[in-house]
Amino acid sequence: MLRADTIAAEERFLFTLEDARLVATLHQPEASPVAGLILLHGWAGYRAGPHQMFVKLGRQAAESGLCCLRFDFRGRGDSEGDPQASSLSTMIADTCRAAEVLAEKCGPLPLALVGDCSGSEVALGAAALIPAVQRLVLWSAPPVAADRQQMHRAKRAGILGKYLRKALRPRTWRRLLRGEVRLDLVSRTIRTGGLGAGELGQASDRDIPWLQRFAAFPGRILFIYGGNDPTTPACLEHYRELSEHVGRPFETHIVAGANHAFYSLAWEQEVIDTTLRWLGEWRAELTGSHA
């Protein structure tokens, strides 16, 4: 259970980048932090993370001695900025600025980045640009430096299967007759395969040297995927090959039965526990302890 004084250590504040104000929340441990953690939400998300997972992770990370920052990218959540101008490139710039802000708040610390979905791409794009970053934990990371068609086909097939199963349920037809089904949204989801603008790619992101940045990052990376996410096999194959190419150990954790966003209390807790346990080993290395 979280202690009241731990929750009281949360600070909501603003920081600026290119005349835009970004909203952030900082979780500080009671003692001097041994390391820092920055949480990077997905394209359509915000700083709370999927079903509040970043809130839970931030609080538990602070209890374990990490200074944790989570924030809304420009044009997302409560932060200022034009949503249409947002891209992976601007999100990477936001992350670099967030690393400076965390250092201002907590002092210069070794850092880890945790990214969810598109936030994982941001982590991979930013890590080599921030010297303090030593660890990455990537939840449901889409492939970078690759043709995504295999992943997109798998995601589209999974969505079509989901809607076909729903079409066989009497409850779906009752909702349809009552006008409770947004057929326009269903049509769009099927047409795009469930891909948001970020997953479809922005013109400004085409020049990001993904492979170069993946190879240049000297630290360790943990990939976490849901076992029932249709994109998982293609992503695992891609990052295994990429890791072998650059000579980095390929570290993974698969949450059995979980979907892309880990939508169950058991799945989300496994993701959080696995993340903190892996970062706890890093924290022990930094302090020279075996706790």
Give per-residue pLDDT as tens, 105-133.
999 999 999 999 999 999 999 999 999 99
- Which pLDDT tens digit goes with each residue over 30-63? 888 999 999 999 988 999 999 999 999 999 999 9
Q: What is the pLDDT of residue 199?
A: 47
Q: Looking at the domain covering 4-146+208-287, what would its CATH class be?
A: alpha beta
pLDDT of residue 205: 81
- Percent of the chain's residues with pLDDT above 90: 68
Domain boundaries, the chain: 4-146+208-287
Look at the pTM and tell me if it is higher than 0.85. no
- Comparing CA positions, the residue from 153, 118, 1 lying closest to residue 63 is 1
Angle, alpha carbons 28-30-35 (nearest 5°): 55
Low-confidence ranges of the chain (pLDDT < 70): 1-8, 147-168, 172-173, 175-176, 180-204, 289-291
Residues 6+ apart with CB under 8 A from 237: none
Nearest one of 24, 19, 105, 37 to 72, comparing CA atoms: 24
